[in-house]
Amino acid sequence: MYRRFAALWGQSLALGGMPQKVNSGRPIPDSFRWECYSLISRLVLVLKFPREGCYRATVSYKGQTIQNGDFHVIILNQEESFMVQKNVAKKNKCYEVKLLALNGERYQKSKKVYCYISPKQLTLKEYMWKFFPKHLITFRLCPSTKFKFQSSRNILQGDPILVIDDGCQQEVELISQDRNIIAATFTQFLLKNIGGSETFKDKQDFFQHEVRKYHQKHFHDKIFIKVTRESLLESSFKETKSFGVSDWCKNFEITFIGEEGIDWGGLRREWFELVCSALFDPENLLFHSFKSDKQGLVHPCPSYKRPSHLKLKYYEFAGKIVGKCLYESSLGSSYRQLVKAKFSRSFLAQLIGLSVHYKYFEHDDPELYVSKVKFILENDIESMSFGIYFTEEVYDASGQLLEEVDLIPNGSNIPVTNANKIQYLNALAQYRLTTSVKPEIEHFLKGLTELIPDNLLCIFDENELELLMCGTGSYSIADFKANHALSGATYEFRKVLEWFWIAVSNFTEEEMARLLQFTTGCSQLPPGGFAELNPKFHISAAQTFGNLPTAHTCFNQLCLPDYDSYEQFEKALRLAINEGSEGFGMV
């Protein structure tokens, strides 16, 4: 039996070894081939399996496993396939499973619980005295919820193991003879929820179709809004304060008090841009940047750094403005509204329900990452003359120390060691990026989800969510060539650099946005273009041959290895900036 996986045309990939059956680890010989369809720019991986079961496969480029290239393939027999189809049609199914680990606790003896799968979620429940259900944990049915498959050879019960991880809660480990049917049912619900495809363009089309469908009873009639330029944020908030969902779905016609302009669309676009600037510009202190310049990604400003007149209601208003932009864009290109903001990756991650960890500092707070996080990761903490504890000092906007916060219970008495320094860094990220701004994010989400259902937002990752909300912007190759830095003077690097300019000259706007995301952490340029990037976009030679390009977002640095030909270079560059995003996954 065969299964096909689609990838971008031009990705010169190899299957790392041969697919292995999970429960035995034995490789499957002669199990794959590639099919190329140049007319539709598609490369297809065809896998051949001798029988039903769960198999693991790895896709690599030049010996390097690509992101999302390590995946499992479930092959069902005819009876199992019929069961999955029946589950999807019924839209709700329950399976008895045995729970091995929950909330970080591993049970000495497995517990009998029940797994409920619906088009929106997967829930585990335990029945008390066989009658009273007790909720244990719920996972949203979205791409961030991942399944891991393990062998059962060391498990007395003999059934296969399934580990569920959504990047937000602690992993759950369970065993069930119906593991493959549970996973396949979940996957079919997921594909149905995101329109049947995992490419960004297809998910964007599906998202906009579903938003239109969600608001089909709300008419896009005109509604008049009068605001003043002098107090734009306050007057806009006051004008829309009493609006319900149906009002937010109407076509805003803007009047600036004291001006004679008639709104044929231009004033509305100007109003959106001005309101976004008032909400998200760090100088206005509703959002702030961890970097001292204007290029930093913006994050909600905690209450201890925010002026007292900027109440939480403004975050709810900001969420509604973003939701309004997404709704308008779903109506077609003539209504398209982009959010003029550069949101931090950790903020975007929290909008789609992901957990925050220390690696987000590299994008969001590069100064802290270089000065503290990287230092702790690369050095022996226990040999330092000064001690670090599980605490964080909190300062107000003027630099005055307010308090010292425990990052974990009794943190002021728990020293950071080499063994627990990752736990410390994650706790630091949780406090600085999440806990300290929890009310602000909750109010933002309240406004956003009033117009856009959260289950639709969750079909994207944080990079895709930025592209969806903020767009790609416009890019000038001439501006790029005039404003960049170089490191490397060899003949080989000059050759690769020439290939680089040829490649980016042929990039679409989305590919340029991906290149910027990959190198700088943000898909948008400052208002002044590449000239205002600080540090400059830095292209350097990597001392390797044939590997994928790498990047250091702290320094806006792109590292390019050497290659035999332009074709190899272009394939590697495209693969790096789109790494694993084009549909490798479980079928």
- From CA 523, how far away is CA 516, in angstroms rounded? 5
Largest CA distance in the chain: 80
Inter-residue contact 519 to 366 (CB < 8 Å): no
| Bridge partner list, 75 | 53
At 424, phi and psi to the nearest 5?
A: -65, -45
The pair of three-digit structure tokens given for residue 587, joined into one six-digit string: 């079928």
Inter-residue contact 504 to 479 (CB < 8 Å): no
Least Cα distance to 29 among 15, 40, 42 occurs for 15
| Peptide bond preceding 535 in cis form (omega within 30 of 0) | yes
Among residues 276, 325, 458, 554, the one annotated as catalytic is 554
- From CA 536, how far away is CA 329, in angstroms rounded? 32
Q: How many CB atoms lie within 10 A of CB 68?
A: 15
- Rg for the chain (alpha carbons), in Å? 26
- From CA 59, how far away is CA 2, in angstroms rounded? 17
Is residue 554 annotated as a catalytic residue, yes or no? yes
* Strand 42-48 relative to strand 105-117, pairing: unpaired
Inter-residue contact 225 to 303 (CB < 8 Å): no
Least Cα distance to 563 among 62, 67, 84, 9 occurs for 62
Least Cα distance to 147 among 111, 190, 112 occurs for 190
Q: Which residues, other chains included, contact 137 with Cβ-Cβ below 8 Å and sequence gap of 6+? A: 102, 103, 123, 124, 169, 172
Inter-residue contact 223 to 253 (CB < 8 Å): yes
At 16, phi and psi to the nearest 5?
A: -70, 100
Least Cα distance to 185 among 206, 157, 162 occurs for 162
* Strand 251-256 relative to strand 222-227, pairing: parallel
Q: How many CB atoms lie within 10 A of CB 169?
A: 16
Query: Hey, which residues are catalytic here?
Result: 554
